Chain A
Amino acid sequence: MKNHNITFKLNGEAVSLSVAPNDVLLDVLRGRLGIKSPKVGCDRGDCGTCTVLLNGRTVRSCLALAVEADGAEIVTLEGANTTREWTRKLQARFHSKNAFQCGFCAPGVILSATELLEKNAKPSSHDIKEAIAGNLCRCTGYEPIVEAISETAKGK
């Protein structure tokens, strides 16, 4: 296999590295770039724990080849919490409500909620549930998560 030299923006900083065609973006982020907020959950696109923002949209980093990131802009929770207003507010709300338990799903949920609130600052409860439908949480039963997102939107 021929390696490819790729360059992309990761949380605002340019990153260049050589990747094999079969390197998965999630594995490169975690294993080579020290970015640990995206988690390896189901590793097949079902659970949403590996969510990152690729060119401004949430995607499953377990379902992208690293080489596809060439020229892209990737933001993970590590970067979003300093650059994105909603991310910061969501984190504060989740923290004060203690809305997560183990926290494994938290980075994915917060990025999905950030994407939602950036598009729709007054989401209905259905909008919120739809936005995080692809982020599985095995602890909370979702109620505190939906409440935290709703309260963040309302600025309560």
Chain B
Amino acid sequence: MPITAEFEYVKPRGMEEALHVFSLYKEKARALAGGTDLLVHLKEGLASPEVVVDLKGIDELGGLSFSGGALRIGALTTFAALIESAAVKKNFPVLWEAALTVASTGVRNRATVAGNICSAVPSADSAPALALYEAEVLVAGLKGGRRIPIGEWFTGPKRTARAPEELVTAVELKVPGKKHGGCYMKLSRYEGEDLAQGGIAALVLPDNTYRVAACALGPVPGRCPRTEAALNGGKLSPKVLEKAREALLAEIAPISDIRSSREYRLHMAQVMLERSLQNAVSRLFGKGPKYGTANIC
């Protein structure tokens, strides 16, 4: 299917040039990295930019590096690169596990983490894990850069805190402690390529503090503070889990859509919460299912 929208294509060689284009065109400029969302939007008439800015010529947007307990995911880093990184698998296993659930190999070879959070759909698979690891989104503008905590990044379905003249340069996260266990559990209709009907990510530290985040269970993905409060300080007893399930139901707001009903999502959110927590605790002690094998479908 041809793209009927007409636009210019530019491929800047440096940030300065790219930022000038964005400051000039603002909403009329669209960034192109992997293009796996943008091309669909162009074909379906959901995007009609005046200029498409291919970022793949800008070296400083590349790179995936880990040092001093901090991971820097350059804006051009694909999900495939994340999956192939031993440092990500070892230090951020929940992000690694989530990356494996994104679409399929042929899409992950192109699609970027930065693109995933810029598209900002409620079902973004990378978002719960990034929330657990308290990621920060680095954006640049002609007037300077800023760091936006992931909790403030998603402002609505397909909306973010990025200003139209800004560009995401990287996502940074820090290891949560010496040791942690975690799990991203994705509910999909079948194993393989599907968007999440719902997703829960859980992380536990040796002092019995818990982090829980969700996607596709409300307008924006993110942390579930009430659920965490119900869990913190205790072991996963049936009583604590009961409280956590109630807290979760009070802070998620799933909708009914083509992939499932609100009622089904509410029910399965509780199942996913319990299972992801149990996996997280088992993994903290080196047991439980291997990372990358914990989905429900």
Contact = CB atoms under 8 A, between A and B. Distances in A.
Partners in one complex: yes
A46 B5 CA distance: 21
B191 interface: yes
B192 A64 contact: no
A89 B200 CA distance: 42
B243 interface: no
B10 to A, nearest CB: 9
14 contacts: A2-B9, A21-B9, A22-B2, A24-B3, A24-B43, A40-B1, A44-B43, A44-B44, A59-B106, A63-B35, A63-B36, A64-B35, A68-B35, A116-B105
Interface in B1-58: 1-9, 32, 35-36, 39-40, 42-44, 52, 54, 56
A45 B7 contact: no
Interface residues of A, number: 36
A131 interface: yes
Most chain B beta carbons < 10 A, residue from A43, A68, A130: A68
A60 B6 contact: no
B39 A134 contact: no
A85 B158 CA distance: 44
Contacts, number: 100
A48 B2 contact: no
B190 to A, nearest CB: 9
A14 to B, nearest CB: 20
Interface string A60-99: 1011110110000000000000000000000000000000
B8 A60 contact: no
A139 B36 CA distance: 27
B106 A51 contact: yes
Closest 6 CB pairs of A and B: A134-B104, A133-B192, A21-B9, A22-B3, A57-B109, A63-B39
